Structure 1
Amino acid sequence: MDLFDDLPEPTQTAGEASVQKTCPSPLEDRGSKRKRDAPDDDEVVEEQKLEEKKVCKGVPILKGYVAARRGEREEMQDAHILLSDMKTCLSTLPTTVSRLAYFAVFDGHGGARASRFAAEHLHHTLALKFPKETENLDKLVKKCLLDTFRQTDEDFLKKASSQKPAWKDGSTATCMLVVDDMVYVANLGDSRAVLCRMEQEMQGGDSKCVTLALSKEHNPTIYEERMRIQRAGGTVRDGRVLGVLEVSRSIGDGQYKRIGVISTPDLRRCQLTPNDRFIILGCDGLFKVFSAEGAVKYILNVLQNGSVERKEGQTEEEGHYEAACQRLANEAVRRGCADNVTVILVSVSF
């Protein structure tokens, strides 16, 4: 069974665009291309065709903004990472792929070590495992994401078990990988990703906002999750694994892995369109006090009506997105969320 859950097909064809470039921790030992003194005519024509193909794809501009609040917790156990340009983290990239971007939020429990480990290492493992060819790219990306989550979990558990006393930290993960104009979301636990898409109500009428879920929650009250835990010898009490753990899939949590808590993510994909405005990635601290639709509408209200102060060098649009991200996190705390709150807001434009 294909683990991908496709979202609605795009209704428009995208146009040409570029993307901001930031990669704070690229892998070392990058591959280099040798210069050739005199490429033959066939090679020149082939390179031109590849460039034309990239232009026709219409790569959207993605810009990420983040807001993190400790709330009433003694420790900030969330972690996050924003890589608007992940190409520089790879030694090689398929020639037909124009752009990679990666955004992720991790909500730790039992400590901050699992979430920080995932934020620091998961994208490097992903870069190493990313497909080198584009034939059957969807299938290869799926395998890459599954292998990356498994490897990250195994690496953390190995490190955790070597400590004295052993670490018992765990973390959710919601990771968004963008390959050209295709979004792949892999998630574990109860952090979420949602997309704001504008659609015409009627021909010539006003557009309305449609909120699309890009992730699936994993908690032990869900039938399939509870059955897996019980078959492995675990129990679910008060909506928690053994009456303690709120999520049924995670990175870390070594003491629960033998009773059905797994690190296999759900995977979803969605092609971006000119109708798409932004994507929100948030930990459960946000969604305890906001519905997905409520969070999207709050962002839209700031973008359309908010008066904002811009940072030096920001455009007016960037200032609005920055303000919307910060205000959403502040509002979650104001509404009484006692948990850590992390919001990643990714603007989409063509």
Structure 2
Amino acid sequence: MGICASVSSSEIHDDSYGDENSVYHRKVSTCKNGSQIGSTHSHAGSKGLNQDSAILYQGYGIEDGAFVGVFDGHGKNGHIVSKLVRNRLPSLLLNQRNAIAKITSSPTNNAQNDRKTETYDKSEPNKNFFKWKEACLSAFRAMDKEIKILDSLDCSCSGTTAVVAVQQGEDLVIANLGDSRAVLGTKTEEGMVAIQLTTDFKPGVPSEAERIRKCNGRVLALKEEPHIQRVWLPHDDSPGLAMSRAFGDFVLKYHGIIAIPDISYHRLSPNDQFLVLASDGVWDVLRNEDVVAIVSAAHSEEAAAKSVVDATIAAWKHRFPNSKRDDCTVICLFLNA
């Protein structure tokens, strides 16, 4: 499959925004032989600070492993929360996964865990998926608690979404919290096709709206933006959150907003060419098929993420010339580098 050797995390993510409204510096992971396996690019919208963060971590867990994530902050302190989660979540997740591995390898638990895994495998394609799923649930829960107890950071109405993917050889585990998205580019006889791997968790999704309303939260759109459903407190016209799952946003955690990710699995095949993770600013104006076509046509792996961001900015200007453009962040992970 040609997965690259590991590189240090400091080489593939940083805080180098220049000034806080500038373009996030692109980072490219490389193999020892010099071939690129991924790129990231982010551009601030017209609303102020760029609140997006991203990470591409090669050599995660195992030599042919990778961790990629896009985090879209919102609220007054959203840019701080997104960076905090970006920097902390990968280690939290790996620690949880290693802890689960130690427990399940204990001689006293082998028989019980074998039965548990065997039962689970009837509906799941890989034995390790259950362990990664449990680790994701624990890590996301711990991450939200860490944010909550920070005395120096008010996250009552600030938070971040998170879409992350963990590649372990041919196994791909995706955890999604919020309205960013993961899309797979796969080669078929008819050409490249886009496979959406996540659900956009917005308040307008019926199951999400039902949960929020059961917790006395309100879901409704403003008259000036009838196409955007938002979450409001029971008796107060605030904060108007445009996603239904997120880290932080603790004023709404008793009213249906949750930090429980949706976790899915994909077994990679030689036809799977690349994975794209992007914040909702991209998907607001580009279709999955558009993004896959842009990445496929990019002249290099290094240029792929920037090509998608450039196309997104152009699409915003064309479709919403009088609206403030959202931040746009893209990660492209090439699976057959």
Same fold (TM over 0.5): yes
- TM-score band by shorter chain is 0.7 to 0.9
1:100, distance to aligned residue in structure 2 (A)? 2.4
Take 2:153 and 2:47, find their aligned partners in 1: how far apart are those partners?
Answer: 25
Q: TM-score, normalising length from structure 2?
A: 0.75
Take 2:187 and 2:153, find their aligned partners in 1: how far apart are those partners?
Answer: 52
8 Å contact from structure 1 (residues 62, 349) kept in 2: no
Of residues 314, 322, 327, the one that matches 1:340 is: 327
Tell me if 1:108 matches 2:98: no
Q: What SS does the corresponding residue of 1:19 show, helix, strand or coil?
A: coil
Q: What SS does the corresponding residue of 1:141 show, helix, strand or coil?
A: helix
Q: Kindly provide the CA deviation profile for residues 62-117 of structure 1, in whole angstroms up to 9, marking residues without a partner as x.
A: 82200110021210100111101113xxxxxxxxx653210000000003122111
CA RMSD in angstroms, aligned pairs only: 2.1
Of residues 19, 25, 50, the one that matches 2:4 is: 19
Take 1:18 and 1:163, find their aligned partners in 2: how far apart are those partners?
Answer: 41
Tell me whether 212-221 or 293-302 shows the greater mean CA deviation.
293-302
Q: Structure 2 regions of 5+ residues with no counterpart? A: 12-34, 106-113, 115-126, 222-228, 318-324
The residue identity in structure 2 corresponding to 1:220 is P
With over 3 angstroms needed to count, the CA separation of the structure-2 counterparts of 1:147 and 1:299, relative to structure 1, is: same
Identify the residue that residue 191 of structure 2 maps to in structure 1: 208
1:237, distance to aligned residue in structure 2 (A)? 1.3
Identify the residue that residue 53 of structure 2 maps to in structure 1: 79
8 Å contact from structure 1 (residues 64, 82) kept in 2: yes
The residue identity in structure 2 corresponding to 1:80 is A
How many pairs align? 268
The residue identity in structure 1 corresponding to 2:132 is V
8 Å contact from structure 1 (residues 23, 86) kept in 2: no
8 Å contact from structure 2 (residues 3, 336) kept in 1: no
Q: What SS does the corresponding residue of 1:185 show, helix, strand or coil?
A: strand
Tell me if 1:120 matches 2:116: no
Q: Kindly provide the CA deviation profile for residues 230-279 of structure 1, in whole angstroms up to 9, marking residues without a partner as x.
A: 11111111110016100000011111101010011111111111111111
Q: Structure 1 regions of 5+ residues with no counterpart? A: 1-14, 27-60, 88-96, 201-206, 304-319
The residue identity in structure 2 corresponding to 1:126 is L
With over 3 angstroms needed to count, the CA separation of the structure-2 counterparts of 1:286 and 1:164, relative to structure 1, is: closer
Identify the residue that residue 17 of structure 2 maps to in structure 1: none
8 Å contact from structure 1 (residues 20, 62) kept in 2: no
Q: Report sequence identity in percent.
A: 28
Q: Kindly provide the CA deviation profile for residues 15-66 of structure 1, in whole angstroms up to 9, marking residues without a partner as x.
A: 5x3423123269xxxxxxxxxxxxxxxxxxxxxxxxxxxxxxxxxx982200
Identify the residue that residue 177 of structure 2 maps to in structure 1: 188
Of residues 216, 228, 231, the one that matches 1:233 is: 216
With over 3 angstroms needed to count, the CA separation of the structure-2 counterparts of 1:86 and 1:98, relative to structure 1, is: closer
Q: TM-score, normalising length from structure 1?
A: 0.72
Larger Rg: 1
8 Å contact from structure 1 (residues 113, 169) kept in 2: no
Q: What are the equivalent positions in structure 2 for 1:266-285 lying under 5 Å apart?
A: 266-285=262-281
Tell me if 1:144 matches 2:135: yes
